[in-house]
């Protein structure tokens, strides 16, 4: 199992406690989705379902459609299967989206806060294009570069030689991967979300409990020492205070709609 899949699988039982941000993003994504009449009894694929934050919204909005939920982390897929196991309209797949193939293309692909993990995005978008019927729709929300800028900035000051090796794609890189795969972009919208936490400790604990500290975007070749972590925590508490209490962290989200 790849490290991202392993980390998210382990986080399946604790993910929901800190998922306010992801619930917000899922609800905003819902606003740009097609009308239920347009989708009817169509086939929907949800990529990176996690614990089912978006899944529940999709089932409510498209009660007549069939829904295949997919995630690279088997712990996440088990979580969704436990909740909707009796729903005959649902199917469950453990797969890396980059390797996914289907003999029966989907009418709609939906994804919230997941596709930025599946890099290079060019390959992922090409796979999704091949997974849709002609004229099918891709509706997704992705985290982009600038997310957790406060944390990365402080980390650069405290341990510049221990920066993560990867970074999130920029908005332009996402758009170019979507269009490069042959999609016709219908709409895009950016949102900067300021999430609030009681303290730096609460913030670090929450993102870890959600599995968000996996992968090259968060991890350096060499981990921070205990002293560096303490320095980071202290500096975060001091410099990222939210006027209404606690600390804040920025998440940059790109919402997009495209047709194959």
Ligand X SMILES: C[S@@+](CC[C@H](N)C(=O)[O-])C[C@H]1O[C@@H](n2cnc3c(N)ncnc32)[C@H](O)[C@@H]1O
Number of shown-chain residues binding ligand X (CB under 6 A) = 23
Residue 79 engages ligand X in binding (rule: CB under 6 A):
no
Q: Is 98 in the site for ligand X (CB under 6 A)?
A: yes
Does residue 96 belong to the site contacting ligand X (CB under 6 A)? yes
> Does residue 50 bind ligand X (CB under 6 A)?
yes
Query: Least separation, in Å, of the C-beta of 68 and ligand X?
Result: 12
Identify the residue among 76, 151, 174, 195 touching ligand X (CB under 6 A).
76
Q: Is 97 in the site for ligand X (CB under 6 A)?
A: yes
Closest CA to 211 of 50, 61, 31, 37: 50
Residues 210 and 18: beta-carbon distance below 8 Å = yes
Residues 9 to 38: which contact ligand X by CB under 6 A?
19, 22, 26
The CB-of-48 to ligand X minimum distance in angstroms stands at 3
Between 113 and 159, name the residue whose CB sits nearer to ligand X: 113
Site for ligand X (CB under 6 A): which residue of 71, 107, 150, 252? 71
Q: Which two tokens stand for residue 102?
A: 């289907």
Closest CA to 113 of 35, 34, 196, 20: 20
| Nearest approach, Cβ of residue 238 and ligand X (Å) | 28
d(CA 258, CA 104): 20
In the bound state, the residue with its beta carbon closest to ligand X is 50
- Cα–Cα distance, 257 to 188 (Å, whole number): 6
Residue 253: name the closest of 139, 112, 109, 138 by CA.
112
Judged by CB under 6 A, the stretch of 44-52, 59-67, 129-137, 169-177 that binds ligand X is 44-52
Smallest separation, CB 10 to ligand X (Å): 10
- Say whether residue 127 binds ligand X (CB under 6 A): no
3 token code pair? 């490290």
Residues 252, 190: contact at Cβ < 8 Å? yes
Q: How many CA atoms lie within 13 A of 58 on its CB side?
A: 31
SS3 142: strand
Rounded Cα distance between 254 and 110, Å, is 14
The residues binding ligand X (CB under 6 A) are 4, 8, 19, 22, 26, 47-50, 53-54, 71-73, 76, 96-98, 112-114, 117-118
């Amino acid at each position: 199992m790849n490290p991202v899949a392993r980390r998210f699988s382990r986080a399946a039982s604790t993910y929901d406690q800190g998922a306010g941000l992801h619930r917000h993003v899922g609800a905003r994504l819902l606003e740009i989705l097609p009308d239920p009449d347009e989708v009817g009894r169509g086939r929907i694929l949800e990529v990176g379902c996690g614990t089912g934050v978006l899944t529940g919204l999709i089932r409510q909005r498209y009660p007549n459609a069939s829904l295949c939920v997919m995630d690279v982390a088997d712990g996440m897929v088990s979580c969704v299967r436990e909740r909707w196991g009796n729903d005959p309209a649902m199917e469950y797949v453990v797969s890396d989206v980059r390797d996914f193939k289907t003999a029966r293309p989907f009418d709609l692909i939906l994804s919230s806060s997941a596709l930025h993990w599946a890099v290079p995005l060019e390959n992922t978008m090409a796979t999704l294009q091949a997974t849709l019927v002609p004229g099918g729709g891709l509706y997704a929300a992705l985290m982009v570069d600038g997310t957790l800028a406060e944390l990365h900035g402080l980390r650069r000051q405290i341990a510049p030689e221990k920066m993560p090796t990867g970074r999130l794609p920029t908005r332009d890189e996402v758009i170019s991967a979507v269009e490069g795969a042959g999609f016709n972009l219908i709409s895009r919208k950016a949102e900067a979300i300021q999430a609030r936490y009681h303290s730096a400790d609460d913030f670090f604990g929450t993102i870890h409990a959600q599995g968000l500290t996996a992968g090259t975007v968060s991890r350096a070749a060499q981990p921070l020492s205990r002293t560096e972590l303490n320095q980071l925590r202290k500096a975060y508490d001091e410099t990222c205070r939210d006027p209404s209490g606690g600390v804040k962290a920025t998440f940059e989200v790109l919402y997009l709609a495209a047709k194959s």
